[in-house]
Structure 1
Amino acid sequence: MKKFLLLFFSLWWGYGSSQYATIKGIIKDTSGAVIPDVSIVVIDKPSYQTNSDENGEYSLKVPAHQKLNIVFYSINYQKVTKSVFLKENELYTLHIQLHPSNILQDVEILYQHPPTEMQKIEPKLFFKLPSVTGNIEDLIKTQIGVTSSNELSSAYSVRGGNYDENLTYINDIEVYRPFLVRSGMQEGLSLPNPEMVQKIEFSAGGFEARYGDKLSSVLDIHYRKPNKFKGSASAGLLVNNLHLEGISKNHLLSWSFGARYKTNQYLLKTLDTKGDYRPTFWDAQMFLNFNFSPVFSAEVLSIYSDNLFLVIPASRQTDFGTVNNAVRLSVYFDGQSKMHYQTLVNAISLIFKPTSKQTFKWINAHYFTREQELYTVQGQYYIDQLEADPGSENFAQVAFNRGVGTYIENGRNKLTAQVAYSELKNTYQYNEKIQIYNGIRLQYEQITDKLNEWRYNDSAGYSIPYFTDRIELNDVYKTNNYLQSFRLMHYHQINWTNNSDEKKWYITFGVRGNYWTLNQQYVFSPRTTIAFKPSWDSKWMYKFSTGYYYQPPFYRELRDIQGNVHTNVKAQQSIHFVLSADKDLKLWNRPFKLTMAAYYKHLNQLIPYEVDNVRIRYFANNNATGYATGADFRITGEFVKNLESWLSVGILKTMEKSPDYIHYIYYNKQGQQIIPGYTFDNKPVDSVRIDPGYIPRPTDKLVTVNLFFQDYLPKLPDFKMNLNMVFGTGLPFGPPNHKRWEQINRMPFYRRVDIGFAYQFIKPNREKKTKNIFNHIENAWLFLEVFNLLQVNNTVSYTWLKDVTGRIYAVPNYLTNRQLNLRLYIQF
C-alpha cells in the first residue's frame, strides 16, 4: 500500500511540475511608470490568469509545449496580446508597455463573471484616508449605502441594518466581531490587516447566494499572494505596523506576515471623561501559500489578536442643554474598568484544479474568542444650572445646584465562544456563457457565557427606587449560559452571460439552505441578479437584484435584556428589491463613474433591539415586522488628474412595528398625564390605550453624505492632501427603560471633517546611488493628519441620571475632539 501511494504521488507530482513554464515581467505605460492591477489572462485557457502588483510586476505559470495567446488589459489602457510557446520549466521574461486609451473601452474578457451587486474597492486608497482606528472598515464606511456615526468603532450600518447583519470574509473564511464590547474606544484592531490585502469587494444588498446568511451586506477580502520579497512599515501616534512577504526560490511557498500595535491613549485624552487610559491592542497574522503544482495548492491563514482596554476614570465635566437652559454635569469617579478580549483564527484550505474549467476548495477553519468585562465604578455627580444671562459677570458659571447623587456600576462578565467548520466549494466553467457554483458547510458552535452585573442609584442620600425597609439595586442580571449546536449550510448558483455585440445580458441565480439544530429551523433563500448593458449606449449598466435573505440567530440574538437565552428564536427575514444603474463618464477628459441605486427591503420576523454606543441588546423574540427603503447616489473619478475622489449621498427610511409596542398612558384625577418627576399626583384614575404603529428603527438615518477628496500642489506634486468629510442626520434614542416606543427622540447631526497632508520624500522611480541604505526603500511617505478639523462635539450616546423625584436627565456622551496625528509609512 505504501509503495502504491508513493508511486501515485510521484506520478501526480511529476505530472504537475514538468508540464508547465513560468512567464514574468513588468508592465509600464508610455511614460515608464509602472501599472498595477493589470489583468493577464491566457485566452484559450482563462483559468490561468493573474494581476500585476503595485510595482507593475507579474508572474504566471502556464502550460508548456503549447502555443498560447496571452492578453494584457486594464480599463484605462489599450489591451495587448502576445503569443508564446514555452518549454518545460522554462522561465520566460516578458515586459509589456501599455498605451493609454483615448476613450473608456469595453474590454473583452473571456468567461467574465456577470455584473452583480459586489463593488470592487481599491485597497491602496485606505493608506491615503485619514483614519482614527487604523482599520480597513474606515474605507468601507465611505462606500455607497454605508453609514457610521462613531469614528472610534469599526462597526458600520448598511441600508438600515445593524452591525450584526454584515458578513465579513478573509480568504473565504468568515470572521466575527467581539460580543461584549460596549463602546468604540474598547474595540481595538479589527481582524483584517490592511497591509496584507490584495482585493476588496463589498455589497450593500442583493448579493449572491454563494455568500452567507445575513440581512444587510457582505465584505469579501482576499490577502495578497506574494511573488517576490518586499515589506512595509509604519509608525505613528496611534497605530504601528510591520509587514513582510516573500516567495521561495522554487516558487513552492509564498508567505506573508503582519504585526500591528495600537494605542489610542493619545486620542482618548480629548474626551470629557478624564482619567488614566491604558489601551493596548496588538495582533499578528500569517498567510502561507503552498503551490505544489498548478493542479494542487494549499493556503494557511492564522490570526491572533489581543485587545486590552483599561481605564481608571477620575472626573468628568459636560455642559449640555440650550443657551437659555444650560446645565452642567460634574462627576468624580472611583474604581476602574477593564475590557479584555482575545481572538484566534486558524484555517487551512486545499485547492484542487483537475481541469482548467473546474476548481475545488476545501476549507477547514476554527474561530475562538475569550472575552472578559470587569468593572466597578462609583460616580458622585452634581447637576448644576448655569447662568444664562449674557450680561451677568457669572455668565456660563454655576448659578445653583439642581441635584446631587451617586451611582455604582458593577460587572463581572465572561464569554468564551468557538466556531469550527468544514466547507467544500466547487466552481465549474461549463462553457463560455455558463459558470456554476456549489458549496456545502458543516459548522459547530460552542458558547459559554457568565453574566453578572448590577447598578445602584442614589440621589440626595436616597436610594432610587426608594424603600423604607431595604436597598434595591437596578438592572440586576445574573445568568450562566452554555450552548452547543450544529449548522448545515449549502448553496447552488449559476451565472449566465450573453455578451454578444447585439445583446449583453447577464443573469445570476442561486439558492441557499441553512439548518440549525438549536431551533430546528431550515430556511431556503432564492436570490437573483439580472444585468443589462444596452447596445445603443454601452456606457450604461442596469441591474435588478431580488431575493430572500434569512439571518438565523447567533448567540447575541438569543440573549434577552436580562441575560436569559431563548432557543426558540427563529431566523429574521428580509426580501430585497434593488434597482441600480452605473455609467462610465468622461468629464474634463478624465474617467468618472456614476452609480445610482434605489432599494426596498421588506422585513419579517424581526428581533427588536436597542443600541447604546456600539452595544446591541436584543429582546429575543420575533414579534416585529418592518421595512427599509431609500436611494443612494455616488460619483467617483479624477476630480483632480490621476487622483481618485468621490461623493456619496444616501437617503434612508427604516421603520418597524410590534404588538409589544402597544402600551397605556395613565392620568391622575386632575386629568394630567402622569410623568414621574414632573407630576405630584402619580395615582392613576384613567388610562388610554396607545398603538404607536410604525416607529423608527435604531439605525434610521434620513440623510448621509460622504466626500473623499484628493489634491496636490501643481508645482510640488509630491505634496498631497486627503480630505474625508461625513455628514449624517441624527439617530433615534430614548431612555434606558427598554420601551422601544419611547426611543424615538433624535440625536444631533453627526458632522466630521478629517484632513491629511502627505509628502512623498522617497519615490520608486528615482535614481539610486550606489551603496546607500535608502536604496532598499521603494516608497516613503510622511503624513500629518488633523482629526475633527472643525472641532464638532458629536454625540455617540447618553448617560441617564435620575434624581429623587424621578426626573431623568439625558447627558450626552461626546466623541473625540480635534487632534493631530503624525505617521511615517515606508515600503521596501
Structure 2
Amino acid sequence: MNQSKLIFVFLFLCIGYVSFAQNAHVKGIILDSEKRPVSDVNIVTSGSSSKTDSNGFFEIEIPSNKKTSLIFTHISLKMMSLTVNLKPNEIFVFNPVMSNSAEQMGEVFVSSNNKKRVQGITVIDAATIKKIPGANAGIENVLKTLPGVNSNNELSSQYAVRGGNYDENLVYVNEIEVYRPFLIRSGQQEGLSFTNTDLVQNVDFSAGGFQAKFGDKLSSVLDITYRKPTEFGAALEASFLGGSIAVDAVSKNKKWSAVTGVRYRNNSLLVNSQDTQTNYTPTFVDVQTNVNYDISEKWQMSFLGNISRNKYLYQPLTRETKFGTVDQPMALAVYYEGQEKDQYDTYFGALKTTYKVSPGFTLKLIGSIFHTTEQEHFDILAQYRLGNVNPDGETDIDNVDFTRGIGSQLNHARNDLDALIANAEIKGFKEWSNSQLEFGLKYTRESIRDRIVEWEMIDSAGFSINPPIIPINNQPYEPYTGPLLPYQDVRATNFNTINRYSGYAQYNNQSEIGSSQIWYNVGARFQSWDVSGAAIVGKNQIVFSPRAQFALKPDWDMDMVFRLSGGLYHQPPFYRELRDLNGVVNPNVKAQESVHIVLSNDYNFKMWSRPFKWVTEIYYKSLSDVNVYSIDNVRIRYIANNNAKAYAQGLDFRLNGEFVPGTESWISFGYLKTEENYENKGYIARPTDQRLKFAMLFQDYMPNIPSVKLYLNLVYNTGLPGGSPSYSDPYLYQNRLNDYRRADVGFAKVFVDSNTQSSKTGWIKNFKELSLGLEIFNLFNNQNAITNTWVRDVYSKNQYAIPNYMTSRVFNVKLNARL
C-alpha cells in the first residue's frame, strides 16, 4: 500500500466517515439436503461470478437498488435461483439448501437479518487465524488485536476484556463450555490452549452486553464451532515451536464424519530468549476429535473429545539483568540450584444430540465431563549479587564498582489438585415468522481436591528476612531474638463439592418502525449453587440476570446499524474465587455483580471500491460484591470476601476491510479506565487498568510476486498496575509497569493455494495448499516486563525492582500443507 493511501486511512480515522459505495453483497453457506457444506457451487449474476469454498462459503457483489437474479449451479445438484433487490452497502446473508431432486426459485425484497451484526458479535475468519504470526499463535493471538481485549504476556493464551480478568471470559466449543488448568502461574507453563485452530470453522466473539443464552461470566464470550467435513482431507504444520496434524474423514454413505487433530508444542525457542538461562524441557501434547453422526435427517449426534498432557521441567541456571539509568547502570546476577517439575493432564469428553421435532422446533441434549490432575513441585535456590556497573565500561556484572546487595532466596512448593466437572444440559429453539424463542436448563457438579504447600525463605547478607507482618526486626543494627519464619507461607487442604443449577430463556424478534428495521432480544437467566466440603457447609445462593439487546437500521443510503445492549450480569464463584490468599476456601463467597451498558454503531461502506467496516462502542460497567484479586504473571489470587465495588468505562474503535485487495486487515484503538473501592478506602486502579490500546493486523503481498505474502501483528498497550511487592498494600504503594510494545511479522512463499492449484503439475498438484514461511517475533526487540523481582539490601534497607523481561527477538520457520 503506497504512502498516499496510508495518509488517507489515518485522516479517515480522525475526521469521520466517507462513503461512495453503490453496491450490495450476498454471502452465506450452501448446504445439501443432509446439512453438509457444498463446495464448488457456481454463483453467477450479470457482471460477476463466484464459487463456494471447501466450507460451502460464498460471497458475491451485486448492484444495489436493482432487481438482480443469482443462479446457483452444481455438477450433482439441481439449479437454484434467487432474485433480490438490496440497498446500497447492504449485506444479505443467504444460507440455502440445494436439492438433488427439484429446482428452487425465490425472490427477496426485504433487507437482510444479519443476526451476528445486530447482536454485536465480531466474526473472525478461520483462515486469518492460521496465518497471523505470534509467539502463541491461535485464536487468542488474534483476539488480542481487537479493541477492549488486552494481554501483556505473549507466552500466555489468557486475555482480559474491558477491565475484567482472565477468569471472567466464557469459552464455548460447539456450544460446550471448556475450562483451563487451575495451577498455572506463568505463561511459559501453559503449553496449548484448548482450541485447535486446525479444526475450526467459525469464531464469534462478544466483548460485552451478550445474550442471556450465554453463561454467567462478567466480561466476554468466545463461541467456536468446529467444522463438519464433507470430504477427506489432511493438514500439516511444522515449525521450530512444534507441529500439528489434522485429518478430515467422511464415510461412504456420508452419515459419519470426523475431524481429528494432534498437536505438539515446545516453548524452548522463546524461553531461551529471556534473561534467565535454563535447562527447559517441556512437552505439551494433545489429541482432539470431533465426530458427527447423522442418524436421520431430523436427528444428529456428535462427540467432542480432548486428551492433553503438559509436562514442564524447568531448571534455571543463571540470570543476568541490566537495568537502571544511563548515569547509574546496575546489574543483577543470579545463580540457581534446584528445579521445577510440573504436570497437567486433562481429559474432556462431550456428547451432543440434536433432534428436529418440527421444521421450526429443535431440541438439544448435551453432556460433558472435564477431569484434570495437576501438580506443581519445585525447590529452587537463587543466590544473587546486585551492584553498580561502570557507566564508562562494560555494563555487566563482572565489572561491578560497588556491590549493593548479596543474598539468597529459596522457594518450595508441593501443590496438587484433582478436579472433576460434570455437566448435563437441555436446550431448545423455536422459530416462527420473524421471531425465535430459546431456552435451556443445566446442571453442573464440580468436585475439587486440592493441597497447597508453598513457602519462601529470603536471606540478605547473612540475615534471614522475616515476613513484613512482623514489625520489630531492626537487623543488623539490633539482634533479632524471635523465631525464624518463612517470608511467605501458604498451607491448606481443600476437598469441596459445588452443585449448580442454571437456566435461561430469551425471545428474539424483528420488526419495522416506518421504513426502518428494528431487532430486539430480551431474556433472563438464573443460577443456584452451594459449596460443601470437609467441616464446611455453605449456604445456597441464587441470582437472576435479565439482559436485553436492541438494534436499529435506519432507512438511510448509508448502511448503518445502531445497537444498545446490556443488563445485569452475575459471576457465581468458581473454585479459584472461593480460595483466599492463605489457600482457605470461603464457601459463602457471593456472586460478583455487574450492570452492563453498551452503545455501539456499525457502519459498512466502500473505500477504494473495496468493502470496509467501522465499529464504535461506548461501554460502562458498574460492579458490586467485587472479589478483589492480585495478578502475578498469570496467576490470580483472590481475597474472597466481596468487600469491594468497582467500575469500568471505555471507548473502542475498529476499522477493518480490504486495505489490500483480497485480504482483510484491521486497526483497533481502545480507551479503558477501571477502578475499585475496597472497604470504602477510596478508588484506586484495578490490576487490569489498561488505559490505552492500539493494535494492527495487516495482510499484504508483493505486487510483482503475489505468491509472497506478508502478515503483521502489532500491539501497543500502556502499562498495567503491577510489579509491586506481593505483600504491599496498594493503597500505600502501587507501581505501574512500562508500556507493552510488540510487533510480530511473517513472510510466506505460497506454492499452492486455491488460485494456483489447477495450474500445477507433478507431485505438487496433490496439495490444495503449500507454503513455507519465516516469522520474526518481537521484530524491534522491545524489552517488555511482566513483573518485577524485588531484591533487598539489608544494610541500606532499600529494595530494588528488577524487571522480569518477556521474550526478545526470535526467528521461526514454518511449513504449512493441506491435502
Q: Same fold (TM over 0.5)?
A: yes
Alpha carbons of 1:404 and 1:58: their partners in 2 closer, same or farther (altered >3 Å)? farther
Q: Please state whether the residue corresponding to 1:621 is helix, strand or coil.
A: coil
Indicate conservation of the 8 Å contact 2:545/2:570, yes or no. yes
- Structure 2 residue corresponding to 1:26, chosen from 40, 49, 52: 40
Partner of 1:665: none
Alpha carbons of 1:129 and 1:85: their partners in 2 closer, same or farther (altered >3 Å)? closer
* CA distance in 2: counterparts of 1:72 and 1:629, whole angstroms: 42
Indicate conservation of the 8 Å contact 1:25/1:57, yes or no. no
Indicate conservation of the 8 Å contact 1:756/1:784, yes or no. yes
Q: Which amino acid aligns with 2:694?
A: V
- Structure 2 residue corresponding to 1:812, chosen from 803, 809, 817: 803
* CA distance in 1: counterparts of 2:358 and 2:256, whole angstroms: 22
Indicate conservation of the 8 Å contact 1:215/1:574, yes or no. yes
Q: Please state whether the residue corresponding to 2:425 is helix, strand or coil.
A: strand
Partner of 2:614: 594
* CA distance in 2: counterparts of 1:393 and 1:84, whole angstroms: 73
Partner of 2:67: none
Q: Does 1:799 align with 2:812?
A: no
Q: Please state whether the residue corresponding to 2:269 is helix, strand or coil.
A: helix
Partner of 1:493: 506
Q: Does 1:474 align with 2:487?
A: yes
Cα deviation per residue 1:775-813 (whole Å; 9 max; x = unaligned)?
321110111000001011000111122232542221110
Alpha carbons of 1:765 and 1:742: their partners in 2 closer, same or farther (altered >3 Å)? same
Cα deviation per residue 1:574-613 (whole Å; 9 max; x = unaligned)?
1001000010011111110000000110010000000111
* CA distance in 1: counterparts of 2:818 and 2:458, whole angstroms: 55
The alignment of Structure 1 onto Structure 2 pairs a total of residues equal to: 745
- Structure 2 residue corresponding to 1:775, chosen from 738, 751, 765: 765
Alpha carbons of 1:57 and 1:201: their partners in 2 closer, same or farther (altered >3 Å)? farther
* CA distance in 2: counterparts of 1:642 and 1:437, whole angstroms: 37
1:432: Cα distance to partner? 1.9
Indicate conservation of the 8 Å contact 1:110/1:432, yes or no. no
Indicate conservation of the 8 Å contact 2:656/2:664, yes or no. yes
Alignment of structure 1 residues 384-533 onto 2, 5 Å: 384-388=387-391, 390=392, 397-429=399-431, 431-465=432-466, 467-468=480-481, 470-498=483-511, 502-518=515-531, 519-533=539-553
Indicate conservation of the 8 Å contact 1:419/1:445, yes or no. yes
* CA distance in 2: counterparts of 1:267 and 1:629, whole angstroms: 35
* CA distance in 2: counterparts of 1:319 and 1:244, whole angstroms: 48
1:140: Cα distance to partner? 1.2
* CA distance in 2: counterparts of 1:59 and 1:165, whole angstroms: 48
Alpha carbons of 1:469 and 1:618: their partners in 2 closer, same or farther (altered >3 Å)? closer
Q: Does 1:744 align with 2:734?
A: yes
Q: Which amino acid aligns with 1:173?
A: I
Q: Does 1:603 align with 2:623?
A: yes
* CA distance in 2: counterparts of 1:613 and 1:21, whole angstroms: 45
Q: Please state whether the residue corresponding to 1:463 is helix, strand or coil.
A: strand
Q: Which amino acid aligns with 1:578?
A: V
1:33: Cα distance to partner? 6.6
Cα deviation per residue 1:687-740 (whole Å; 9 max; x = unaligned)?
xxxx4x100000001100001111111111111111111101000022211523
1:485: Cα distance to partner? 1.9
Partner of 2:643: 623
Q: Please state whether the residue corresponding to 1:560 is helix, strand or coil.
A: coil
* CA distance in 2: counterparts of 1:158 and 1:515, whole angstroms: 26
Q: Which amino acid aligns with 1:809?
A: Y
Partner of 1:682: none
Indicate conservation of the 8 Å contact 2:331/2:395, yes or no. no
Q: Which amino acid aligns with 1:511?
A: A
1:393: Cα distance to partner? 8.2
Alignment of structure 1 residues 505-584 onto 2, 5 Å: 505-518=518-531, 519-584=539-604
Structure 2: runs of 5+ lacking an equivalent:
1-32, 60-71, 467-472, 474-479, 532-538
* CA distance in 1: counterparts of 2:401 and 2:748, whole angstroms: 48
1:204: Cα distance to partner? 0.4
Name the TM-score, length of structure 2 as normaliser: 0.86
1:173: Cα distance to partner? 0.9
* CA distance in 2: counterparts of 1:82 and 1:207, whole angstroms: 28
Q: Which amino acid aligns with 1:724?
A: N
Q: Does 1:704 align with 2:708?
A: no
* CA distance in 2: counterparts of 1:267 and 1:478, whole angstroms: 33
* CA distance in 2: counterparts of 1:82 and 1:360, whole angstroms: 22
Indicate conservation of the 8 Å contact 1:736/1:800, yes or no. no
Q: Please state whether the residue corresponding to 2:577 is helix, strand or coil.
A: helix
Indicate conservation of the 8 Å contact 2:604/2:614, yes or no. yes
* CA distance in 2: counterparts of 1:422 and 1:713, whole angstroms: 52
* CA distance in 1: counterparts of 2:437 and 2:497, whole angstroms: 34
1:647: Cα distance to partner? 0.4
Higher alpha-carbon deviation: 516-525 or 105-114: 105-114
Indicate conservation of the 8 Å contact 1:70/1:81, yes or no. no
Q: Please state whether the residue corresponding to 1:745 is helix, strand or coil.
A: coil
Alpha carbons of 1:304 and 1:106: their partners in 2 closer, same or farther (altered >3 Å)? farther
Alpha carbons of 1:399 and 1:20: their partners in 2 closer, same or farther (altered >3 Å)? closer
Indicate conservation of the 8 Å contact 1:205/1:217, yes or no. yes
Partner of 1:100: none
Alignment of structure 1 residues 307-318 onto 2, 5 Å: 307-318=310-321
Indicate conservation of the 8 Å contact 2:168/2:217, yes or no. yes
Indicate conservation of the 8 Å contact 2:36/2:230, yes or no. no
Q: Does 1:132 align with 2:132?
A: no
Cα deviation per residue 1:319-376 (whole Å; 9 max; x = unaligned)?
1122223221110000001221111110001110011101100000001111110000
Alpha carbons of 1:495 and 1:401: their partners in 2 closer, same or farther (altered >3 Å)? same
Q: Does 1:193 align with 2:196?
A: yes
Q: Which amino acid aligns with 2:721?
A: P
1:268: Cα distance to partner? 1.1
* CA distance in 2: counterparts of 1:308 and 1:60, whole angstroms: 50
Cα deviation per residue 1:16-70 (whole Å; 9 max; x = unaligned)?
xxx98999551356788744466699xxxxxxxxxxxxxx9999999xxxx9877
- Structure 2 residue corresponding to 1:725, chosen from 699, 714, 717: 714
Indicate conservation of the 8 Å contact 2:369/2:423, yes or no. yes
Q: Which amino acid aligns with 1:403?
A: G
Partner of 1:655: 675
Q: Please state whether the residue corresponding to 2:142 is helix, strand or coil.
A: helix
Q: Which amino acid aligns with 1:774?
A: I
* RMSD after superposition: 3.0
Indicate conservation of the 8 Å contact 1:71/1:80, yes or no. no
Cα deviation per residue 1:563-584 (whole Å; 9 max; x = unaligned)?
1111111000110010000100
Partner of 2:780: 790
Partner of 1:246: 249
1:136: Cα distance to partner? 1.9
- Structure 2 residue corresponding to 1:255, chosen from 250, 255, 258: 258
Alpha carbons of 1:597 and 1:136: their partners in 2 closer, same or farther (altered >3 Å)? same
Alpha carbons of 1:234 and 1:82: their partners in 2 closer, same or farther (altered >3 Å)? closer
Indicate conservation of the 8 Å contact 1:114/1:497, yes or no. no
Partner of 1:372: 375
* CA distance in 1: counterparts of 2:505 and 2:308, whole angstroms: 34
1:743: Cα distance to partner? 5.2
* CA distance in 1: counterparts of 2:137 and 2:449, whole angstroms: 31
Indicate conservation of the 8 Å contact 2:694/2:715, yes or no. yes
Q: Does 1:288 align with 2:277?
A: no
Q: Which amino acid aligns with 2:416?
A: K
Indicate conservation of the 8 Å contact 1:201/1:221, yes or no. yes
Partner of 1:47: none
Name the TM-score, length of structure 1 as normaliser: 0.85
Q: Which amino acid aligns with 2:453?
A: N
Partner of 1:175: 178
Q: Which amino acid aligns with 1:653?
A: K
* CA distance in 2: counterparts of 1:597 and 1:809, whole angstroms: 41
